[in-house]
């Protein structure tokens, strides 16, 4: 029904209904999810802005449908690109919640998979594996990490293409009951889309996740420690700032994931340092990560090529 066709029983035109979109944002509890995302993830301003834009699109679409304005349901399949540890899985989880609260998926759960969950090892194995995952994901969001590994052009006997064909069919025919998010490194995802144009044509939202700055990584570290009742001493904080700068220059850096791993090892050194000391320790001692707990890392080794994550 067009807006001009909305009328009273007497036949006179009804004035357009006034809609408070921000009230819709609050009443659907989407604002709560957006606020949670702000609390969970440091930085990522362009990512958070894009999620808010998608939420605004869906709220407007929801209101339009309620008023009888006919339009196609927005295409919701997405691509998240960026380096490891930049919050892609967390954002996918919050996106699933937003879609559920606005009625675009039935359940709002997230099923996170990789190639191994979808592709079989022999003839006749891939289709049932892929269909089983899709069955679990129906009514929610399917998050496929490192999606480009589904396609291996160099191997003619690879069964990934079968999984791709099933996924494409479901993304097109059941898009009102499943949202698919493909994730991975930006350059590899670009190559994947060039090799599989069917995916590109079904993806409406491409969101790039930037690396964290050194300052943001330090804020993440402080937040992670506080969540476990730890803190840095002044010297410990300075040492960890040096750690971040050094670690970023070395191979296999994974943003927040590398920070979490580094803190786990710092806590290990902290515990052993006090365990080897004679005499009692204070509550503050048990809470404080100091410079020696950080500077013992192999990241400060003279040969960075020997460093993995320590």
- pLDDT for 33 equals 95
Q: What's this model's pTM, rounded to 2 decimal places?
A: 0.85
Tell me the pLDDT band of 185, cut-offs 50, 70 and 90: very high
pLDDT digits (tens, 9 = 90+) for 211-249: 999 999 999 999 999 999 999 999 999 999 999 999 999
Is the predicted pLDDT of residue 154 greater than 80, yes or no? no
Give yes or no: residues 47 and 147 share one domain: yes
Query: What is the average pLDDT across 256-280?
Result: 94
| Whether the Cβ atoms of residue 139 and residue 177 lie closer than 8 Å to each other | yes
Query: Does the pLDDT of residue 11 top 60, yes or no?
Result: no
Domain that holds residue 218: 214-306
CA distance 59 to 200: 25
Residue 6 predicted with pLDDT over 50: no
**Cα gap 277→149, rounded to integer Å:** 50
The mean-pLDDT minimum among 198-207, 219-228, 276-285, 298-307 falls in 298-307
Q: Note the pLDDT of residue 68.
A: 85
Query: In terms of domains, do 175 and 234 share one?
Result: no
* Whether residue 71 sits in one domain with residue 27: yes
Mean of per-residue pLDDT scores for the chain = 89
Q: Are 133 and 113 in contact (CB under 8 A)?
A: yes
Residues 130 and 268 in one domain: no
- What's the structural domain count of the chain? 2
**What's the pLDDT at 158?**
76
> Same domain, yes or no, for 103 and 146?
yes
Say yes or no: 38 and 116 in one domain. Answer: yes
pLDDT-based confidence at 302, cuts 50/70/90?
A: low
Q: Looking at the DSSP assignment, which residues form a beta bridge with residue 232? A: 289
Q: Which of 162, 186, 209 is the last residue of a domain?
A: 209
Cβ-based neighbours of 93, under 8 Å, separated by 6 or more: 110
**Helices in the chain by DSSP H: which ranges?**
21-27, 30-40, 45-66, 88-101, 115-118, 126-137, 160-173, 186-195, 197-202, 214-227, 234-248, 256-275, 283-287, 291-295
Confidence at residue 307, expressed as pLDDT on a 0 to 100 scale: 53
Cα–Cα nearest to 205, from 35, 45, 55, 30: 55
Residue range 151-166: mean pLDDT, rounded: 81
Looking at the structure, tell me whether residues 193 and 225 fall in a common domain: no
């Amino acid at each position: 029904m067009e807006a001009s066709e909305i009328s009273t029983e007497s036949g006179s035109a009804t004035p357009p209904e006034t809609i408070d979109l921000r009230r819709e944002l609050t009443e659907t509890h989407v604002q709560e999810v957006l606020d949670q995302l702000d609390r969970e993830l440091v930085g990522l301003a362009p990512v958070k802005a894009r999620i808010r834009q998608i939420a605004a699109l869906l709220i407007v679409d929801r209101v339009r449908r309620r008023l009888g304005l006919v339009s196609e349901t927005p295409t919701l399949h997405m691509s998240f690109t960026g380096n490891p540890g930049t919050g892609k899985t967390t954002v996918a989880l919050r996106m699933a919640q937003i879609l559920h609260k606005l009625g675009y998926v039935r359940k709002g759960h997230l099923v996170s998979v990789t190639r191994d969950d979808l592709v079989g090892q022999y003839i006749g194995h891939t289709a049932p594996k892929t269909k089983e995952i899709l069955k679990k994901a129906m009514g929610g969001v399917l998050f496929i990490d490192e999606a480009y590994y589904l396609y291996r052009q160099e191997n003619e006997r690879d069964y990934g293409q079968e999984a791709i064909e099933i996924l494409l069919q479901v993304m097109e025919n059941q898009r009102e009951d499943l949202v698919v998010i493909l994730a991975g490194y930006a350059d590899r995802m670009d190559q994947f889309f060039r090799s599989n144009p069917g995916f590109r044509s079904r993806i409406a939202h491409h969101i790039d996740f930037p690396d964290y700055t050194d300052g943001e990584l330090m804020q993440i570290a402080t937040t992670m420690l506080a969540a476990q009742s730890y803190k840095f001493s002044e010297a410990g904080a300075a040492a960890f700032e040096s750690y971040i700068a050094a670690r970023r220059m070395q191979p296999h850096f994974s943003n927040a994931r590398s920070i979490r791993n580094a803190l786990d090892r710092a806590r290990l050194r902290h515990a052993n340092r006090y365990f080897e000391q004679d005499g009692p320790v204070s509550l503050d001692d048990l809470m404080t990560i100091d410079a020696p707990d950080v500077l013992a890392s192999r990241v400060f080794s003279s040969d960075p090529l020997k460093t993995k994550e320590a």
